[in-house]
Structure 1
Amino acid sequence: MIIASPSAQSSTSRWIIALDTGGTFTDVVAITPTGEVRRVKVPSDGSLSASVDECVAADVRMTPAAQLVFPDGFLDGWLLTALDSLGVELRATIVHQRGHSLTLSSPLALAAGCALRFTRDASALDAATLDAPRLALHILTATALDKPLPPLEVRLSTTRGTNALLEGRGVVSAGLEGVVEIGDQTGRDLFARVPAP
């Protein structure tokens, strides 16, 4: 459920967004300034995926995963990775993207149905700051990555902290060992009131 708090800005001039980022996926539900509901799901590692419809040399026609719609030029400069029929990794930079059509930096032999993975070049200026939530917001609002996002009202939740605790990946501060015990939330005297010393 999306709950919008009152704001000085008219509700018709901004996006209202609820975003949940977890260890595997980032899910976003939004109400556009015109009242339309939109949804986006992207991997939380900041990559995107698609499958090949057709490939002729360096020209690829693809279908994005999860019915994503990329603004023209959105994937320009991204790295495309795929496996050929022998399992050999193939790579090329996306020079030009318009709709579902890609022009690559070099020709690749990609069969129809081949899985594609798109990642940002690690040397790109925004690679470190373009996390999955920001990526999803740019896709959802059809905003180019080098342009500012439109006015937004965002509700953000995450399960990353809970996942780290459940998987034992968290770090416990000295003296606080045993404070957090996760299981079925039962424990001896879990709700006992202990008077302050």
Structure 2
Amino acid sequence: MWRFWIDVGGTFTDCLALSPTDEILERKTLSSGRIKGQARGVERDGDSIWIVDALRTSDVEDFWKDWSFDIVDEHGATTWSGKVLRSHPERGIQVTTADGDHEIAVGAGYELSSELEAPVVCIRQVLGLAMSVPVPEVDVRLGTTRGTNALLERKGARTALVTTQGFGDVLHIGSQERPHLFELSIRKSQPLCETEVEIEERIDTNGQVLKSPQAHRIREQLQQLLDDGIQSLAICFVNAFQNAEHELLVEKIARELGFSQISRSSEVAPAIKFVPRTQTTVLDAYLTPILQEYVERISRQLGNPRQFRMMTSAGGLIDARQFRGKDSILSGPAGGVIGYSQVAATAGFPESIGFDMGGTSTDVSRFGGELEIETET
């Protein structure tokens, strides 16, 4: 069975493959899944055009068939689009379009694109499989900064926090920590959740119910969130780590109403500290829909492999179907720590420092001889 280790960054995706005969192969591509090239030769063939590019000579025949083909200018803007009819390692790429009179200049830049995610493009390139050919059973281990970058760029799901009455501003208040302690003009970062809903409920520190929530009122409040276009719920009640009864009730009603993503603190982060528990739950609700959609798309394009695992922030691997937002923030960086620390140790350096500069973010880490697990960051 082929084995693949893949690191998906914000700009580039790196792939290391091991064949059943222990041959090692490498691939690197843009994380957008788009393939760039330059027309070194152009030949018209009726209503189609053959594009010759030395970068494509190692590709198997018809690998690019049915891919989209775009001519792009120096600013990256598309000036002409077509569809790949055929591709041949010697003759090039045959492209057709409704605009049969268009001429492509020698030296023009082009981009090939499809619906395939970058890891799948790498795997198909290594195996030499066109889109029409199913991918055989493979073992895939993947680390990604998709969650990290979605957080940095604020591109998560529309999220609402459902919490105990009187605590709706918990994320706005936070822990009172701030980077510039004596700054007179305090600038706080905005919470990831778009809105907050307070539920009339209360559980004491021993897990005893002090006030029970009203199901009909919860239903009304959650329905309003749905009507407002909220996609994801983060449920976090005071002392829910001792008794999850009220959180479970809200989750049940939310599922009945049709919320697709629900993160419950008593499941996501069953810990005593209310502020970090709320932050973790909201983060999970904010990122999980984005990541699950991404992982499911890769899995589907690979034919739902049985061995598909994701690197978590803790530096371990988890089944891709169980991968969620809270696991993703340091998925890519954690994989780097595991890798460079072992390489450094093999070279005789038990302690090491890692510096990984990507196209979107830069990761710096220190390995002091053994892995250290932090529960709060």
Q: TM-score, normalised by structure 2?
A: 0.38
3-state SS in 2 of match to 1:112 = coil
Q: What displacement does 1:143 show?
A: 1.5
What pairs with 1:136-151 in structure 2 (closer than 5 Å)?
136-151=122-137
Q: What displacement does 1:74 show?
A: 1.4
In structure 1, stretches of 5+ residues that fail to align are 1-13, 121-126, 186-190
* Cα distance, 1:62–1:15 mapped onto 2, change above 3 Å: same
* Cα distance, 1:164–1:16 mapped onto 2, change above 3 Å: same
CA distance in 2, matches of 1:140, 1:77: 19
CA distance in 2, matches of 1:59, 1:192: 56
Question: What is aligned with 2:64?
Answer: 75
3-state SS in 2 of match to 1:154 = strand
Contact 1:40 1:68 in 2 (8 A): no
* Cα distance, 1:170–1:79 mapped onto 2, change above 3 Å: closer
Q: What displacement does 1:117 show?
A: 0.4
Contact 1:84 1:109 in 2 (8 A): no
* Cα distance, 1:69–1:107 mapped onto 2, change above 3 Å: farther
More strand by share: 1
* Cα distance, 1:63–1:108 mapped onto 2, change above 3 Å: farther
Q: Quote the sequence identity (%).
A: 26
* Cα distance, 1:116–1:73 mapped onto 2, change above 3 Å: same
Q: What displacement does 1:25 show?
A: 2.0
2:153 counterpart of 1:167: yes
Q: Which amino acid aligns with 1:95?
A: L
Q: Which amino acid aligns with 2:64?
A: L
2:86 counterpart of 1:96: yes
Contact 2:31 2:118 in 1 (8 A): yes
Deviations 1:16-71 (A, max 9, x none): 2101112222211111222221111122222212111101221211133xx78432
Contact 1:49 1:116 in 2 (8 A): yes
Q: Which amino acid aligns with 1:77?
A: D
CA distance in 1, matches of 2:21, 2:35: 27
Q: What displacement does 1:142 show?
A: 0.7
Question: What is aligned with 1:117?
Answer: 111
Question: What is aligned with 2:240?
Answer: none
Higher RCO (C-alpha 8 Å, min separation 6): 1
CA distance in 2, matches of 1:107, 1:158: 43
Q: Which amino acid aligns with 2:60?
A: P
Q: Which amino acid aligns with 1:119?
A: S
CA distance in 2, matches of 1:107, 1:98: 23
Q: What displacement does 1:161 show?
A: 0.8
Deviations 1:122-167 (A, max 9, x none): xxxxx3xx22211211111111222222332211110111122233
Contact 1:84 1:90 in 2 (8 A): no
Match of 2:19 among 16, 29, 32: 32
CA distance in 2, matches of 1:192, 1:159: 20
CA distance in 2, matches of 1:43, 1:88: 17
Contact 1:22 1:158 in 2 (8 A): yes
Contact 2:57 2:89 in 1 (8 A): no
Deviations 1:85-141 (A, max 9, x none): 9x8702222111111511221464333332110122xxxxxx3xx222112111111
* Cα distance, 1:161–1:97 mapped onto 2, change above 3 Å: same
CA distance in 1, matches of 2:62, 2:26: 21
Question: What is aligned with 1:23?
Answer: 10
3-state SS in 1 of match to 2:123 = helix
CA distance in 2, matches of 1:68, 1:133: 21
In structure 2, stretches of 5+ residues that fail to align are 164-169, 175-275, 281-328, 330-363, 366-373
Q: TM-score, normalised by structure 1?
A: 0.68
Match of 1:48 among 35, 44, 57: 35
What CA RMSD, in Å, does the superposition of the two structures yield over aligned residues? 3.4
